[in-house]
Amino acid sequence: MGKARPNRRRKALRRHIGQFDSESLWLLLAAAGASPAVRHKWVRVGHLVELASKTTGLSGRHAEPGVLHDLLERAAESIGNIYMYEDYLPEDPRDNVRVRISDYTLRIGPGDIERPVADIDRALLVSKAIDPLLIDRIGFGVRDLLDVVLGYQDTAIATVAESWPEGDIDLNGDTVVTTEEVESAERLLALGTPEDLLPTDRHRLALNWITCTSAALSYDPGSRQSPVGRFLRVEDPSWVEPRWLPLHFVPGALAQAVGELAAQVATDPVARRRFAEVSAAEARYALWRFGDVFGPPDYEGAPMASPRNVVQWASSPTGRHFVLVQVMSELSVELFEMPEEPETLRATKSAASDPANPRKVSMTYGEMTLRPGAEVVPLLVVASPSHIAAFVRPGLPAVSLDDLRWMSKTADSELDLFNYCRDMSRPDLPQFMGWEAINIWEWWRSNGQSFFSGGQAPSLMMITPHWGTAEWVLGAKRTPVEVALARLGLPPLRDLEADPEDDNVGPRLLAGRVRDSTPVEAWRGRHKAPDPIGWSVHVSEVPVAVEALRTGWPEEQFAFLSDLAIGLSYAFEQITHVWVEAHRDTDVRGYVFNLTTASSGGGEFRLLRTSPTGAYKSPDKPDGVITVEVEVDLDPTLDDNFDVTAAFQGSMAAVIADAACAAGVSRVASDAIKAAIMSGPPTFAVETLRPLTSRNHFSNPVPLNEALVSVVDRKVAEAVSAAGIEPGEYRGTPAKAIDRDVLAPTALAILDAALASHSMDELLQFGMEQIERCLAHKSRAQITAQHATDVLRVGWDPLERLHASESELSTLRRCIELAMEAALRSAPSGSAPVDDLTWSEILAAARVYLAATTRSEAIHHQVGETVLEISTSFELSTKPAASSDRGGTISGNGSGYNFDNQAYARARLAPKRKESSAPKDEEKNDPPEESDGTDAEPIPAGINEAMLNAFGASATDVFGVLTTAGSWPLAPADPDAVVIAPDALADRVMEHSIHPEGVKTEVAQKRVLEAIKHVTSTSAELSATDWKPWQVRSRKRRLMIQPLAQRSDGLLVVSPRLCLATANIYLQYLKQGQLPWSQPAPPAALNTVLEATRDARNQALERQVSKVLADAGWRVVSNIKETKPERLAVPSLQTEIDVVAGRAGDPNIWILEVKDPTDVFALADIRRMLDRFFLDDKKPSYATQLSRKIADLAPHADSVATALELPTADPATPYQVRAMFVTREPTPAQFVGAPFPFTPLADLIETLEEPPDQP
């Protein structure tokens, strides 16, 4: 009975479609099987197609588009349980996704499978392994099949795509196709199989192999790969020629066909060996993304592979961390046999059981001995010609070869694979169902690089399926680049890396490695990756690739040359129309620019030669690609007042124009190219800087690793669960208590445990090097943002990018400092070496500790409070306590502040972009010099002597020590952080210092030594203090103020850039009349001098405000004492007024309250500043005082206007009195929704001309 009912439904549907004309029905279904509007019901279309193929030759009524909806509903009833088969929405066929074959691209459709792009890449891999055997056996190979099927699919999509509807499609309405779609299906049917797809007998054999009779065609909606098997063409006696099935069948049937072809040689020993070798090589290529690869040497140009239970590769992101990669490959899924205990799992367990003793791992050839202390994790990679979901067992992460390739392309860092395998192999991993590995990987990446970070694991986790569609989305995004690479004969995107989040603004930066080459070096099992290759690619009808990565470039100029390549390709972006039109009547397909270097002291660029050949050694060299060899002078001749940016732009324009002319572009057109480049803004900014340190080229710092932060989060969450805290939302005092009593102590314990494995001295050395690199990259980001604003015209927001970079690097620097301070406090004496991964673990614990303590501090001071959320599975998260859409708010008359820290940070960065007239030093954080001479001296008057009396060393002495350490000479082999003896530092300071007249040498020497002590962080002093690293400015004992870290042997570890940053911090605070710390408070005499400095600055700012207004044409009355109300023609004043201003034609008369508060960044200081502005205490707040001033002047607006000598107001727009705070720089008070507007001095006139609305 179970089968009878479906048969009855099927027969009923067959009888129903028998009433239609067979030809019109076929066209309708062909249109539906390609239509984006029907893709959610392609399973039903397939069922109808199979029945229609068996009801041919009928001449019933015409199948109009309007009958489709009813047919689909009937098909659903015939199939039964339709929603079981329609749980997946295919991707939109309107997406232009093209794949690379040789030197051309072909457009593909999504079909009703998830990963058609991966299927094609895999098919090419299979072809490489077994095609010679297949051709000998059956007369054609996988590649022949791909040529035919993909070629037809490309032609078919081109035929029908113009008929597809545009815009959004309502998939919930009645399913219809348009008349235009049916007409395009008719054209496609008439096209048949184009002859150019069948150039050889092998192609014709391949076509015949995927052709079946209509009687033989069957349809299985439950098939995991293809409901019609391998068949894509059907022949019937009533048809003139065989017909291709609708387009949505193509991807699945092609993948099925490749699997069936491979199965024909699946037991052939040669085929199995070749596929195993190719799979091992592909796995190695993907693993190079994650660091070094170890394994047996290649034999006869291919990796040694083995069907035995052995490990193929060991992937090593650091010298102590390894992923043991076991590769299992078979040409048929049925032949896979899972070992009882895979060697990768056995070896991992063995290493974990006794880490101190070396263990052996069975490899495909011989054994590998693990070093003592190595941490290893397992990974099983499964390779098959067909789409396969890798086997899953507890403790053993498994992926298909497709998954590993995707992971390689989407990883953020070399550590990602190790961290993923470590997370997925941990014994307490929750039980889960994830279908295939790409789902798990994408979930892991999106979940903070953590599978589960809660403190209480669920009994079962279900991973949402269909994450594999990310391949299709990325393919559509990158298709224009793929087309450009094909035109240029460069490697396909499957062989190159690029940022998956690339916003497609400007040229695309691509990098990869030479394919199919033996390793550059294979020594003691280490397979060094082949030479890197990379280009910055301008995409247009005449694409241009500029070499951006080349082995042999001078290491110290590598970043410069890469940036130059991007700048050169940006030049083409700016003149795309002119560039394409200039080549309209030529045979030029595109250009590849190769950059070589010289140091001849000549011009910036020189065109060496052009040649009409591909630049990349590839078997597919398209005609018409012009190779341009350009020489870049790394030491061009510079005279005084030399505009390097303009010179580079001129040389760039000349080289591009000459190259185009040499390629056949007319001189008129090439001159137009040159003129277009010269008339636009520069695309590459060059600036001559006075280097402040002896080394200016650095590696990237080790970043905060999201996966490792998630590990710490999980351990903290477990502590929260163990503490008996209930799930829910916590704010205020309860949240503070959880942060203080559970989160912070747990994170600190994890940090101390991580530090304990290493020695203090090695931690200080590694940490100082990281700070040096961090500060170097911060400086570079600032210069880049300034160039983008002042010189270049870019398609992105420089301030937004700078803010993101500064925020990231500042957080990283604070975590490094916290870790180093913790190391100084605990003075660990472990022996384990510090590497990138162990340092990342330390940083992760520091980050979680810093986040918890900062949250607690924000709650304590009621500034920018956050809510702590604890889920039922004890996953911890935070969110703002209140929305900051309006830029912050004040609540409870100053009892709490919703401070918009993001806006404040952005505003603080903006002035740095405006200082184009400042001295061209790398550190440009100093405010501009005051025009009235207040800051004529770098250190305000009196502070030097007062500091000498207080600390035994003057400010000048401190600066001498810091700048000397900051410019310490480094040899090429020296690390980025230098180790200096205190006496040697003192001697060098003495050698390069000019002592004040009358100061004896021995006295000067003593002062220098005191200054060195003053800026040295020691283990004894830090361990003796009440260490609160979240309190920034209040602490004197912190690395940012005492940047010389003392080792256990008394030597000092020094980051030159940190020393210069500290000198700048000192200077900024002293010029503002403060010390860089608030506790302990300065001695009375020094405090008096500092107060005088603050008063002088505020008075100077008032004078500056008046001058700026007067210069802009405003009428100004300033410094009005409360005893002189007549100056404003008012009866009385309650308090002094700084500035009153107005101008003719403007109804607003402004009371400007000038305030020059010191820079604040710590939450406690921010709170104190906000209270001074808005909270009445013993003294009225600044806001209250300003309200009183308005009350004094507002009733007498006309009188005040008369005092300002303004004309009589128009009765329609009478004068009104308004008030505003004016500060030297943006201040936190500006970002809490204050009752009065704020403006920094630089924006004063602009703000007055377009004043904000009245609050």
575, 1232, 511, 617: which is closest to 863 by C-alpha?
A: 1232
Give the DSSP per-residue string, 729-774. Answer: EE-HHHHHHHIIIIIHHHHHHHHHHHHHTSBHHHHHHHHHHHHHHH
269-465 has CATH 3.30.70 classification: no
As a whole number, mean pLDDT of residues 1046-1068 equals 95
- Residue 749: other Cβ atoms inside 10 A: 15
Tell me the domain boundaries of the chain.
Answer: 4-89+116-263, 269-465, 507-678, 706-796+805-873, 943-1082, 1095-1249
- 914-936 tens-digit pLDDT: 443 232 333 333 333 222 333 34
Q: Tell me phi and psi for residue 309, to 5 degrees.
A: -80, 80
Name residue 397's amino acid: P
Does this model's pTM top 0.75? yes
Cα→Cα distances 11→4, 78, 417, 1248, Å: 10, 9, 53, 82
pLDDT value at residue 620: 53
Residues 783-801: tens digit of each pLDDT: 665 555 555 555 555 556 6
Average pLDDT, the chain: 88
More confident residue, 181 or 863: 181
Q: Quick check: 409 and 500 in contact, CB under 8 A?
A: yes
DSSP run (H or E) holding 1053 = strand 1052-1054
**859 within 8 A of 852, measured Cβ to Cβ:** no
CATH code for the structural domain at 1095-1249: 3.40.1350
| Distance of alpha carbon 42 from alpha carbon 221, whole angstroms | 10
**Residue 62, pLDDT score:** 93
First to last CA, the chain: 78
Residue 578 is predicted with a pLDDT of 96
Is residue 911 within 8 Å of residue 680, measured between CB atoms? no
Paired with 99 in beta bridges are: 106
| pLDDT of 604 strictly over 70 | no
Average pLDDT over every residue of 83-98: 93
Q: CA 369, CA 361: separation in Å to the nearest integer?
A: 6
pLDDT, mean of residues 938-950? 91
pLDDT, average across residues 20-31: 95
**Mean pLDDT value of segment 129-155:** 97
Instruction: Evaluate whether 760 touches 824 at the Cβ level (below 8 Å).
Output: yes
Residue 16 amino acid letter: H
472, 78 contact by CB (below 8 A): no
Q: What dihedral do alpha carbons 989, 992, 995, 1001 form, nearest 10°? A: 60
Q: Could you tell me which residue, 341 or 863, shows the higher pLDDT?
A: 341
- pLDDT value, residue 919: 28
Residue 899's pLDDT band (cuts 50, 70, 90) = confident
Length of the chain: 1255
133 token code pair: 């055997």
Q: Give, as one character, the DSSP assignment of residue 302.
A: B
* pLDDT, position 306: 93
**Sign (positive/negative) of CA torsion 1016, 1022, 1024, 1029?**
positive
Tens digit of pLDDT for each residue in 508-545? 888 887 776 666 567 788 998 888 888 999 999 999 99
Does 1095-1249 match 269-465 at the fold level? no
pLDDT per residue as tens digits for the range 354-373:
888 878 999 999 999 998 88
The least confident of 70-79, 156-165, 621-630, 1007-1016 is 621-630
Handedness of CA 342, 344, 347, 351 (dihedral sign): negative
pLDDT at res. 371: 87
Q: What is the mean pLDDT of residues 44-60?
A: 89
pLDDT at 506: 65
Identify the CA nearest to 13 among candidates 46, 56, 48: 48
Q: Is 707 in contact with 840 (CB distance < 8 Å)? A: no
- The whole-angstrom separation of Cα 705 and Cα 499 is 17
743-781 confidence digits (pLDDT tens): 999 999 999 999 999 999 999 999 999 999 999 888 776
Q: What is the mean pLDDT of residues 706-729?
A: 93
On the question of pLDDT at 137 being above 70, the answer is: yes
Both tokens assigned to 653: 């324009």
Q: Computed over its alpha carbons, how large is the radius of gyration of the chain? A: 36
Sheet holding 1016-1017, edge to edge: 978-980, 1052-1054, 1044-1046, 1016-1017
Residue-wise pLDDT tens digits, 205-234: 999 999 999 999 999 999 988 999 999 999
d(CA 390, CA 332): 14
> What is the pLDDT at residue 782?
65
- 320-331 pLDDT, tens digit each: 999 999 999 999
* Number of CB atoms found within 10 A of residue 361's CB: 24
Within 10 angstroms of residue 329's Cβ, the number of other Cβ atoms is 26
State residue 799's pLDDT score.
57
Within 8 A by CB and 6+ apart from 790, the residues are 913, 916
Tokens 């910055």 belong to residue: 536
Span 414-434, pLDDT tens digits: 999 999 999 999 999 988 888
From CA 653, how far away is CA 677, in angstroms rounded?
6
Contact criterion met (CB below 8 Å) for 123 and 142: yes
pLDDT at 579 over 90: yes
In angstroms, rounded to a whole number, what is the distance separating the alpha carbons of residues 937 and 37?
74
